[in-house]
Amino acid sequence: MGYRRSLCAGATTLALLISISLAGPTNATPVYLNDQNISVLLVSPASLTGGTVDNLIDADSPSATDAHTQATHVWVSGDSLELRFDLQGIYNLEIFHFWNYFEESFDVDSIDLTFLDASESSVGTFSATPALGIHPSEAENFSLVGIENVRFVNALLAGSNDQVDFQNIGFTGTLIPEPSTALLVGLGLSATALERRRSARRRPTRRCS
């Protein structure tokens, strides 16, 4: 009797877990993405005029102030720079955070983002004309709608002043479990359930109630 009850409970649990896996992270908490969990590469130009690529994503939180110093900002002498972010996981993105420079003759005047999934297919775009920053710099927050299943972000930042200077970029999003992980869990549970069913066939059967 106890064994049959356990078998029925196991089948119910399996169905529930698969249902949760397919439904996605309905209760997941949005996380802030910075140098602790994502990476970024400079695509063009070949090098920065000032600052380092690491300075791009080094703000601790969306509410952090990023005072302008040579150790915190990013500066290119020219019309634009291109960046590529690797989120190191699959996210539904909710907010784009941008810390602009505070002088019109150096700041970023336009931003174009292209969001890519794990196979590098586009899953959406977003364009913004950020406000002039203040000093010390605080983030301007842009809501992202329908930007889902993102692994990579290509960013083009341009200035109409032959200078492109800013303090920081960040994202807030919800991590989606890797399909392979959910699949492995499902397969493992299915194998266990199958073995139990084979064992149960050797015993009298009874319907789950």
Q: Is 66 in the site for Ca ion (CB under 5 A)?
A: yes
CB of 129 to Ca ion, least distance (A): 10
- In the list 8, 20, 42, 58, the residue contacting Ca ion (rule: CB under 5 A) is 58
CB of 156 to Ca ion, least distance (A): 15
**What residues between 168 and 197 interact with Ca ion by CB under 5 A?**
168
C-beta of 58 vs 117, nearer to Ca ion: 58
Greatest C-alpha distance within the chain: 83
C-beta of 35 vs 82, nearer to Ca ion: 35
Helical axes 2-23 vs 179-201, angle rounded to 10°: 160
CA 205 vs CA 191, 193, 201: distances in Å: 20, 15, 7
Query: What does the CA dihedral 44, 45, 46, 52 come to, rounded to 10 degrees?
Result: -90
Count of residues touching Ca ion (by CB under 5 A): 10
- In the list 72, 100, 137, 172, the residue contacting Ca ion (rule: CB under 5 A) is 72
What is the pattern of x (binds Ca ion, CB under 5 A) and - over residues 100-119?
A: ----x--x-x----------
Distance CA 172, CA 195 (A): 43
- Which residues lie across from 118 on neighbouring strands? none
- In the list 102, 161, 185, 193, the residue contacting Ca ion (rule: CB under 5 A) is 161
Region from 47-55, 86-94, 137-145, 184-192 binding Ca ion, contact rule CB under 5 A? 47-55
Neighbours of 171 (CB within 10 A): 26
**What residues between 131 and 150 interact with Ca ion by CB under 5 A?**
none
Distance CA 49, CA 47 (A): 7
Query: What does the CA dihedral 15, 19, 22, 25 come to, rounded to 10 degrees?
Result: -130
Q: Which two tokens stand for residue 54?
A: 């690491």
Nearest residue to Ca ion by CB is 168
Q: Which residues bind Ca ion (CB under 5 A)?
A: 55, 58, 66, 72, 104, 107, 109, 161, 167-168
